Structure 1
């Protein structure tokens, strides 16, 4: 009798030990079924299309036209920074996707509803990754192509400030879901740095059919 009791107790203990394992496996399988993986990026296709578009452009710049050496150097630096930005963005987007999905900032593709891809969680607010990479590369490009006494330096930095402002506003819109009425006003505030730093002409040419009604051929908006 004692042997039977011990055996029965051992079997119940083994069953109790196996039960949480089975629960873990079921939860893991359910998690994998509810959260299908995101399709990997098509890097090969992107690189092929990029080469298809870059080769004619490179031929025109390097061989067909006589381009100034400084301008050619600037174009090559820009191409190198753009290539580096592509690989950095490709590496950072999956990392940012995991953090965004963890914070429940995702949606579903309604155009794929009813298909296996329709249940894939599409992360939101990933434009901030592209925006940050672009800003960093634009600042590095400024180091290679501008000097401290450059005439375009102020407007260039003002444009970067406007881009940074719009990137931040886009991220805030994804998080807070700003109403469309407010979205119409926000770009005006983002354009203020560029507007204040602009020192060029503020004239527009009036179309010829409207000249008799306006009375001017050129209208100066700065006055």
Structure 2
């Protein structure tokens, strides 16, 4: 079952970890946020107006729920309502070794209708291909191929550093991660833009500290 037509389907993505976290928290933490970013980008490429990270984060903050937590059906619906979504795509991901499995389904907020669950799996190194498979099955009539979606992403190593930069809680850590992201994928606009935003105040603070 496909998502709504792009013109009416303002869509919220919620991707959470479904397995045990023992020994995997750091790895899972970046991949949870990265998964939502990848699938959001892929759905936008397919013409679905998927809601971006800033609005998604504000909705989670408003309800005071962690962005990696498993959520109740009622919470999912409330998050969608906060951002004005027509539907919510709820997904889970799981790692067994380096094998990534993703499952997802869409929920219509006006009717509560839930699509059948779909699944995609592959090597973690092929994370973009795994999520492209999910996106294409959610929007099966789209003319964009999985290969074209994959080509829209940077190398996985650069993407990981970019997401870690997004999630870092200090400016110094952000600069460290984003420096690596820019080095690994020159021209990847999100990394370069965030790097510039973070580096400017960090540099000013460093100069001020040296002066005083």
Check whether TM > 0.5. Answer: no
Q: Which has the larger radius of gyration?
A: 1
TM-score under structure 1 length normalisation = 0.27
> Quick check: which one's helix share is greater?
1
> Quick check: which one's strand share is greater?
2
Higher-RCO chain (CA-CA 8 Å, sequence separation at least 6):
2
